[in-house]
Amino acid sequence: MIPQRVLLIIPPLTQINTPYPSTAYLTGFLTARGYDVWQADLGIEMVLALFSRDGLSQVFARIRGIPEEDVPAAARPMLALQRAYLDTIEPVVRFLQGRDPTLGTRICSGAFLPKGPRSTDMSDDVGAFGTLGVSDHARYLATLYLEDIGDLVRETVAPQFGLSRYAESIGTSAGSFAPIADALDRPLSFTDELMAQALWHHMEATDPTVIGLSVPFPGNLYGALRIAQAVKCRYPAVRIVLGGGYANTELRQLNEPRLFDYVDYVSLDDGERPLLCVLEHLSGKRDEAELCRTFVRSHDRVVWRDGARETDFGQGELGTPTYRGLPMERYLSVLEMLNPMHRLWSDGRWNKLTVAHGCYWKQCTFCDVGLDYIGRYEASPSKLLVDRVEALIAETGQTGFHFVDEAAPPAGLKALALLLLERGLTISWWGNIRFEQAFTPDLCRLLAASGCIAVSGGLEVASDHVLERMKKGITVDHAARVAHAFKQAGIMVHAYLMYGFPGETIAETVESLERVRQMFAAGVIQSAFWHRFMATAHSPIGLDPASHGIRITPRTFEGFAHNDLTHEDPAGGNPSWVGEGLRKAVFNYMRGVGLEDDVRQWFDRLVPRPGIRCDATARALGRRARLDDPDGERRFVWIGGDPVAEPFGHDRRRLILPTCTHDEDLRLSSAHADWLLTLIRRATPVREQGGEAYPSLKDTRCQYPLGGPKAFDVLLRTSAWKKTRHAGLLLV
Ligand code: SF4
Is 328 within a domain?
Answer: no
Residue pair 7/40 in contact (Cβ under 8 Å)? The answer is yes
141 lines ligand 1 (CB under 6 A): no
Ligand 1 atom with minimal separation from the 363 CA: 5
Pocket test for ligand 1, best of 355, 364, 470, 471 (most atoms within 8 A of CB): 364
Distance 366 CA to ligand 1 centre (A): 9
Task: Express the helix, strand and coil content of the chain in percent, nearest 5 each.
Answer: 45, 15, 40
**pTM of the complete model:** 0.92
- CA dihedral (196, 229, 559, 266) positive or negative: negative
Report pLDDT for 144.
94
Q: In angstroms, rounded to a whole number, what is the distance separating the alpha carbons of residues 613 and 678?
A: 48
Whether residues 106 and 20 share a domain: the answer is: no
Report pLDDT for 319.
86
Q: Which helix (H) or strand (E) holds 708?
A: helix 708-715
Report pLDDT for 693.
86
Whether residues 592 and 703 share a domain: the answer is: no
User: Whole domain around residue 693: which residue ranges?
Assistant: 636-731
Pocket test for ligand 1, best of 249, 372, 374 (most atoms within 8 A of CB): 374
Q: In angstroms, rounded to a whole number, what is the distance separating the alpha carbons of residues 727 and 665?
A: 10
Q: Looking at beta carbons, which pairs linking 53-60 to residues 24 or more positions away fall under 8 Å? A: 53/86, 53/89, 53/90, 55/89, 55/194, 56/85, 56/86, 56/89, 56/149, 57/86, 58/190, 59/149, 59/152, 59/153, 59/156, 59/157, 59/190, 60/85, 60/86
Is 628 within a domain?
Answer: no
For residue 266, give the nearest of 248, 234, 242, 249 by alpha carbon: 242
Q: In angstroms, rounded to a whole number, what is the distance separating the alpha carbons of residues 354 and 380?
A: 8
pLDDT above 60: residue 42: yes
Whether residues 64 and 26 share a domain: the answer is: no
Largest CA distance in the chain: 95
Is 332 within a domain?
Answer: no
pLDDT above 70: residue 721: yes
56 lines ligand 1 (CB under 6 A): no
Whether residues 570 and 667 share a domain: the answer is: no
- CA dihedral (64, 65, 69, 71) positive or negative: negative
Q: Domain boundary residue among 588, 621, 654?
A: 621
Pocket test for ligand 1, best of 249, 359, 360, 436 (most atoms within 8 A of CB): 359
Q: Which helix (H) or strand (E) holds 139?
A: helix 134-156
Distance 468 CA to ligand 1 centre (A): 14
Report pLDDT for 700.
95
367 lines ligand 1 (CB under 6 A): yes
Whether residues 93 and 216 share a domain: the answer is: no
Whether residues 701 and 564 share a domain: the answer is: no
DSSP letter at 495?
A: E
Distance 434 CA to ligand 1 centre (A): 8
Nearest residue (by CA) to ligand 1, atom 4, is: 364
Gap between the terminal Cα atoms of the chain: 54
Mean pLDDT for the chain overall = 92
Q: Domain boundary residue among 156, 190, 221?
A: 156
Distance 361 CA to ligand 1 centre (A): 6
DSSP letter at 85?
A: H
361 lines ligand 1 (CB under 6 A): yes
Residue pair 670/652 in contact (Cβ under 8 Å)? The answer is yes
For residue 530, give the nearest of 604, 584, 466 by alpha carbon: 584
Ligand 1 atom with minimal separation from the 374 CA: 7
- CA dihedral (163, 348, 479, 408) positive or negative: positive
Residue pair 436/410 in contact (Cβ under 8 Å)? The answer is yes
407 lines ligand 1 (CB under 6 A): yes
CATH number, position 229: 3.40.50.2300
Alpha helices in 207-310 (DSSP H): 221-234, 245-250, 272-282
Whether residues 465 and 588 share a domain: the answer is: yes
Report pLDDT for 343.
80
Ligand 1 atom with minimal separation from the 361 CA: 8
* Helix-then-strand count for the chain, H and E: 29, 24
Is 232 within a domain?
Answer: yes
Phi, psi angle pair for 212, to nearest 5°: -105, 125
Ligand 1 atom with minimal separation from the 368 CA: 6
Whether residues 29 and 73 share a domain: the answer is: no
CATH number, position 459: 3.80.30.20
pLDDT in tens, 200-253: 999 999 999 999 999 999 999 999 999 999 999 999 999 999 999 999 999 999
Which tops the pLDDT comparison, 631 or 517? 517
713 to 479, 701, 720: CA distances (angstroms): 30, 8, 13
Give the pLDDT mean for 481-502: 95
Distance 59 CA to ligand 1 centre (A): 44
Ligand 1 atom with minimal separation from the 472 CA: 4
Is 553 within a domain?
Answer: yes
Q: 110: pLDDT confidence band, cut at 50, 70 and 90?
A: confident
For residue 248, give the nearest of 235, 232, 267, 265 by alpha carbon: 267
Q: In angstroms, rounded to a whole number, what is the distance separating the alpha carbons of residues 353 and 431?
A: 10
Q: Which of 175-179, 243-247, 277-281, 570-574 has the lowest mean pLDDT?
A: 570-574
Nearest residue (by CA) to ligand 1, atom 7, is: 406
434 lines ligand 1 (CB under 6 A): yes
pLDDT in tens, 687-717: 766 666 899 999 999 999 999 999 999 999 9
Q: In angstroms, rounded to a whole number, what is the distance separating the alpha carbons of residues 55 and 549?
A: 53
Q: In angstroms, rounded to a whole number, what is the distance separating the alpha carbons of residues 400 and 232?
A: 38
Ligand 1 atom with minimal separation from the 369 CA: 5
Question: Which strands sit side by side in the sheet containing 663-669, from one edge to the other?
Answer: 644-647, 652-658, 663-669
Q: Facing residues of 37 across strands?
A: 6
Is 391 within a domain?
Answer: yes
364 lines ligand 1 (CB under 6 A): yes
How many Cα atoms are found within 13 Å in the side-chain-facing hemisphere of 155? 14
pLDDT above 90: residue 584: yes
Whether residues 649 and 674 share a domain: the answer is: yes
Alpha helices in 656-696 (DSSP H): 670-683
Report pLDDT for 707.
94
Q: Strands 492-499 and 527-532, how do they pair?
A: parallel
For residue 533, give the nearest of 504, 557, 498 by alpha carbon: 498
Nearest residue (by CA) to ligand 1, atom 5, is: 362
Q: Domain boundary residue among 156, 189, 218?
A: 156
Q: 132: pLDDT confidence band, cut at 50, 70 and 90?
A: low
Pocket test for ligand 1, best of 354, 360, 406, 466 (most atoms within 8 A of CB): 406
Give the pLDDT mean for 181-207: 97
Q: In angstroms, rounded to a whole number, what is the distance separating the alpha carbons of residues 724 and 638?
A: 10
Whether residues 211 and 93 share a domain: the answer is: no
